[in-house]
Structure 1
Amino acid sequence: MSENNQPRDIYDAVADPTRRKLLSLLADVEEMPLHELTVQFQMGRTAVSKHLAILKDAGLVIDRKVGRETRYRLNAAPLREIQDWVSFYEKFWNRNFVRLKQLLQEEQP
């Protein structure tokens, strides 16, 4: 958790492209060790670990130790908050697409 023992904001956690790529990589596997994640980026192990820590603080990643290795897996449940927020605006877009379609049909000869 972050410094105030508050979970990190999920929107902040997914705002960074590196963290979104980490989530994408973890979505394709059951779990992945840090060294395998690190080779996917042009940054060092420490930098990748910091990104994973932010995702972990947001509840998006779960880690476990296997010997000296740390393995990470996706916990997609918190992403439901983002999905719910975006789906609220889907009504707006659908309504506007219907209006656009009507307008285009009216303009056709």
Structure 2
Amino acid sequence: MVKHEDATLNRTFAALADPTRRALLARLAQHDALSVSALAQPFDMSLPAVMKHLDVLAEAGLVTRAKTGRTVACRLAAGPMEDAMQWLAHYQRFWSDALDRLAAFVEEDACRPNPQPDPDQPTPSLRASPSGAASTPPPRRSTPRGRNRRN
């Protein structure tokens, strides 16, 4: 069964997945409130299309709307984004720890002295095959080209 918090996170991430909706949120972050028409102005889409994006954002709780007369003003509501950031912070700790371990391993490996090659040993690329036989080239992967047209 899906928990209420999981459903909220799902709606938040689904709303944030679209670049147009993220751009709408960015515009709202720069202003206290914007009318729908002012919010839609820089986008190359119809007003009903912008309204559908705003519906998704409102369902996720990322935008609030207030109607005054014939004007609908939109405001950013950052609460669901804070919940998403807390969820992401858990995984940030995981990746930070993993990357720290990788960096320590690489630094440790870089500090080890490189063994000097033995001049009496042939280099790996010049060694003979274990069987001592010459290699054969691999077989062709396709047959020769046939006719292109039927007569």
Q: Which has the higher helix share?
A: 1
Superposition deviation, residue 107 in structure 1:
2.9
Q: Deviations over 1:23-63 (max 9, x none)?
A: 11111110111111111211011100110011111111011
- The structure number with the bigger radius of gyration is 2
* Separation in 1, partners of 2:33, 2:68: 12
1:16 alignment partner in structure 2: 18
Aligned alpha-carbon RMSD (Å): 1.8
Counterparts of 1:1-109 in structure 2, within 5 Å, are: 9-109=11-111
Superposition deviation, residue 66 in structure 1:
2.3
* Separation in 2, partners of 1:61, 1:88: 25
Structure 1: where are the runs of 5+ without partners? 1-5
Give % identity: 37
Letter in 1 for 2:41: V
- Secondary structure of the residue aligned to 2:79 is coil
Letter in 1 for 2:96: N
- Secondary structure of the residue aligned to 1:41 is coil
* Separation in 2, partners of 1:18, 1:56: 14
Structure 2: where are the runs of 5+ without partners? 1-6, 112-151
- Secondary structure of the residue aligned to 1:42 is coil
Q: May I ask how many residue pairs the two structures share in their alignment?
A: 104
Moved over 6 A (4+): none
* Separation in 1, partners of 2:87, 2:42: 30
Superposition deviation, residue 19 in structure 1:
0.8
Greater RCO (Cα-Cα under 8 Å, separation 6 or more): 1
Superposition deviation, residue 108 in structure 1:
2.6
What TM-score does the superposition give when structure 2 sets the normalisation length? 0.63
